């Protein structure tokens, strides 16, 4: 994702690449590392040093849940606006980052998914849940993904819960013969996480009703599909004060 961000920034006349951080590639040219033309920006291994020396306005972070929180705190402490695509933040962490951003008078964005298609999938699922309250979510990712369920699945569930009166689905005498077979429980419905090599990112929201079913599915095939959303977030975060959670809040 970092390489795709570098290429996106280099291709946009309104944006300037000022720094790139990757401890495993320190000293390399960021553009060359991303498979693009040389950018004239050397990769550094220390985020704080990069922020202090580069004059950056925005940090784009697609690291891991363990790293993303301290990275965002470091960015905010330097007056740099975090745009984070990493999932796994707790509500308490989101509230803290919002507080820190407001104290600095800057904006920030955390988006479990920057894909415009995925955002529309979530919106359509919320609309459908008003009429089809029986629902389950199945999300598919590669076997190296660290969190389950995905941030997109959790956000989809949260949006469904806004319009669905909570009730426990299925037979009240249902019994799992194998623990976890019915998936994770969220306000009466289930979320299933599939982790297999060869899969990039897909999600299905399945609704059932008398004599019919409805499936809403989004498939991502390449990381480049997230870049239009990242570009919007990078530009709009300059107009914000406080932290925005969810890319859909940036869409017109």
On whether both 216 and 244 belong to a single domain, the answer is: no
Same structural domain for residues 151 and 186? Answer: yes
Low pLDDT (below 70) residues in the chain: 252
120 & 94 share domain: no
125 and 106 in a common domain: no
Residues 102 and 122 occupy one common structural domain:
no
Does the active-site annotation cover 141?
A: yes
How distant is the alpha carbon of residue 62 from its chain centre? 9
Q: How far apart are CA 54 and CA 35, in angstroms?
A: 22
At residue 225, the pLDDT reads: 85
Q: 187 and 125, same structural domain?
A: yes
What is the span of the domain harbouring residue 87? 2-110+223-250
Question: Tokens representing 128?
Answer: 């459908």
Q: Are 121 and 199 within one domain?
A: yes
Give me the catalytic one of 141, 192, 218, 231: 141
Q: Are residues 105 and 199 in the same domain?
A: no
Looking at residue 224, its pLDDT comes to 82
pLDDT of residue 252: 62
Whole-angstrom Cα distance, residue 235 to residue 15?
Answer: 9
Residue 101 shares a structural domain with residue 155: no
pLDDT digits (tens, 9 = 90+) for 105-121: 999 999 988 888 999 99
For residues 73 and 131, state if they share a domain: no
Query: In the beta sheet, which residues pair with residue 185?
Result: 190
Clarify whether residues 245 and 120 are in a common domain.
no
Residue 65's pLDDT is: 80
The one catalytic residue in 78, 123, 134, 145 is 145
Please tell me the total count of domains within the chain. 2
CATH number at residue 196: 3.30.360.10
Say what the pLDDT of residue 8 is.
95
Tell the burial category of 13 from Cβ atoms under 10 Å away from its Cβ (0-12, 13-18, 19+): exposed
- Does 139 share its domain with 15? no
Which residue shows structure tokens 């950056």? Answer: 56
Which residues fall within 8 angstroms of residue 181, CB to CB, at 6 or more apart?
Answer: none
Respond yes or no: is residue 134 known to be catalytic.
no
Q: Looking at residue 58, which CATH number applies to its domain? A: 3.40.50.720
- What pLDDT is recorded for position 99? 98
């Amino acid at each position: 994702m970092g390489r795709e961000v570098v290429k996106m920034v280099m291709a946009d006349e309104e944006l300037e690449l000022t720094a790139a951080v990757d401890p495993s590639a320190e000293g390399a040219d960021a553009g060359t590392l991303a498979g693009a033309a040389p950018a004239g920006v050397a990769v550094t291994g220390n985020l704080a040093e990069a922020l202090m020396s580069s004059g950056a306005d925005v940090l784009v972070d697609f690291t891991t849940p363990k790293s993303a929180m301290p990275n965002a705190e470091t960015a905010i402490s330097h007056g740099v606006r975090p745009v984070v695509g990493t999932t796994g933040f707790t509500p308490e962490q989101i509230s803290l980052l919002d507080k820190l951003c407001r104290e600095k008078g800057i904006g920030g964005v955390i988006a479990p998914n920057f894909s415009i298609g995925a955002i529309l999938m979530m919106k359509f699922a919320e609309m459908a849940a008003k009429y089809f309250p029986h629902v389950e979510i199945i999300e598919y990712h590669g076997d190296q993904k660290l969190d389950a369920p995905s941030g997109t699945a959790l956000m989809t569930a949260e949006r469904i819960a806004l319009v669905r009166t909570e009730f426990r689905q299925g037979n009240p005498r249902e019994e799992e013969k194998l623990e976890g077979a019915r998936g994770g429980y969220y306000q009466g419905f289930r979320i299933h996480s599939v982790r297999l090599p060869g899969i990039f990112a897909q999600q299905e929201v399945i609704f059932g009703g008398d004599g019919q079913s409805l499936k809403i599915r989004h498939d991502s095939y390449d990381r480049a599909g997230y870049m239009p959303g990242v570009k919007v977030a990078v530009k709009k975060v300059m107009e914000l004060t406080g932290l925005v959670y969810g890319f859909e809040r940036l869409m017109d």
